[in-house]
Structure 1
Amino acid sequence: MPLNASFEDLLPRLASAVVMVLVGVVAIWYGGYLFLFLLAAVVGAMVWELARMVAPEDKTGAVVVAGAAAAALASCAVLPLGFALPLLILPAMIGVGRFESSRRVFALYTAFIGVAGLGLWVLRQDFGMVWMLWLVLLVVVTDVAGYFAGRIIGGPKFWPRVSPKKTWSGTVAGWIGAGLVGWGFMTQTIAGAELIGISIALAMASQLGDVTESALKRRAGVKDSSALIPGHGGLLDRFDGMLGASVLLLLVEQIIDFPPLPL
Structure 2
Amino acid sequence: MTASSGQWDDLIARIGSGGVLAFVGIAAMWAGGLWFHVLVALCSGVMVWELGRMLGGGVGVRFLGIAAALAILVAGELAPALALPVLLAPAIVAYGQVPAHRPIFAAYTALILLAGFELMAVRDGSGFVWMAWLALVVIATDVLGYFAGRMIGGPKFWPRVSPKKTWSGTAAGWIGAAVVGTGFLAATGSGAALIALSVLVSMASQAGDLAESAIKRMAGVKDSSSILPGHGGLFDRFDGMLGASILLLVLSTLFGFPPEAVQGAQ
**Structure 2 CA distance, aligned partners of 1:195 and 1:77?**
27
Contact 2:76 2:117 in 1 (8 A): no
Shift of 1:91: 1.2
RMSD of aligned alpha carbons:
1.4
> Which letter maps to 1:217?
K
How far does residue 251 in structure 1 lie from its aligned partner after superposition? 1.6
The CA deviation at 1:83 is 1.8
Cα deviations by residue, 1:93-132 (Å, 9 ceiling, x for unpaired): 1121343311111011101101100110000000000000
* Structure 1 residue matching 2:96: 3-state secondary structure: helix
- Is the CA contact (8 Å cut-off) linking 1:33 and 1:77 kept in structure 2? no
For normalisation by structure 1, the TM-score amounts to 0.95
Rounded Cα–Cα distance in structure 2 between residues aligned with 1:4 and 1:100: 40
Q: Within 5 A, what are the aligned runs for 1:65-76?
A: 65-76=64-75
Equivalence for 2:90: 91
Q: Hey, what does 1:25 align to over in structure 2?
A: 26
Distance in 2 separating the partners of 1:129 and 1:9? 31
Q: Does 1:35 align with 2:4?
A: no
The 2-side partners of 1:104 and 1:217 are apart by: 16
Quick one: distance in 2 between partners of 1:98 and 1:232? 26
Quote the residue 2:55 is aligned against.
54
**By how many angstroms is 1:257 displaced?**
5.3
Distance 1:92 1:55 in 2: 16
Q: Tell me the equivalent position of 1:155.
A: 154
Cα distance, 1:2 vs. partner? Answer: 4.3
Q: Which residue of 2 aligns with 1:15?
A: 16
Deviations 1:3-58 (A, max 9, x none): 322211110000001000000001000000010011101100000001111124x2
User: Is the CA contact 1:202–1:245 (under 8 Å) kept in the aligned structure 2?
Assistant: yes
* Residue 210 of structure 1, CA deviation: 0.2
**Unaligned runs of at least 5 residues, structure 2:** none
Structure 1 unmatched ranges of 5 or more: none
Query: CA separation in 2, counterparts of 1:184 and 1:120?
Result: 21
For residues 99 and 177 of structure 1, what CA distance do their matches in structure 2 show? 38
Q: What is the identity, as a one-letter code, of the residue corresponding to 2:10?
A: D
- 8 Å CA contact 1:68, 1:90 repeated in 2: no
Aligned length: 261
Q: How much does 1:174 deviate?
A: 0.3
Equivalent residue for 1:186? 185
1:233-248 equivalent positions in 2, closer than 5 A = 233-248=232-247
1:67: Cα distance to partner? Answer: 1.3
What amino acid is the match of 1:10? L
Amino acid at match of 2:222: K
Q: Could you tell me the percent identity over the aligned residues?
A: 52
